[in-house]
Amino acid sequence: MALDECTSLKIRSMIARLDAYIKRLEERYKRLYDKILFTEDCRLKEMYKYEAEEIRKIAKVLMTTKVTLEIMHGEQQLYHEVLRELERMIKSIMPELAIELKELENAAQAAADEARKIIEESIAIVDERMKWWGQ
């Protein structure tokens, strides 16, 4: 398997894992949202709101990572700076994925200007997708 095929396989694998994790968070968020709507206890409602907001924040980071990887994979280009930024963002949530991103980062060439553009584009896409999550 050539380096490009191996890298492509790693990216697809990370996207699939992120997608599965995001779906679990989305389901948890929906359950919490229902609890918020139907709970009369104000303290409990606030606790649910706080947890839902934390889930939304984590989901946004994971979705941004996923969309960025999809963009990079679609263009068949790897950007050193993008991978470094994603690794920094996800390190505390999914350390094993951060390690893989670090490995990809070491294999990629630096492209700082393009990296920021890709991250910003990913964040804009995720913001649009997350409108229903209640910003």
Q: 119 or 15, which is more confident?
A: 15
Integer Cα distance of 35 and 48 in angstroms: 7
> 41 in the Ramachandran plot: left (φ > 0), alpha (ψ -120 to 50) or beta?
beta
Residue bearing the bigger pLDDT, 85 or 17:
17
Give the pLDDT score at 109. 56
pLDDT over 60 at 73, yes or no = yes
Range of the domain at 99: 3-133
Tokens of 91: 């390190």
* Cα gap 59→22, rounded to integer Å: 6
pLDDT for 3: 43
Q: What band does 2 get if pLDDT is binned at 50, 70 and 90?
A: very low
Look up residue 86 and give its two tokens. Answer: 């994603």
Mind listing the pLDDT tens digit for each residue in 6-22?
Answer: 777 888 899 999 999 99
- Count structural domains, the chain: 1
pTM of the model: 0.64
What are the pLDDT digits (tens) for 44-64? 999 999 999 999 999 999 999
Distance of alpha carbon 50 from alpha carbon 20, whole angstroms: 23
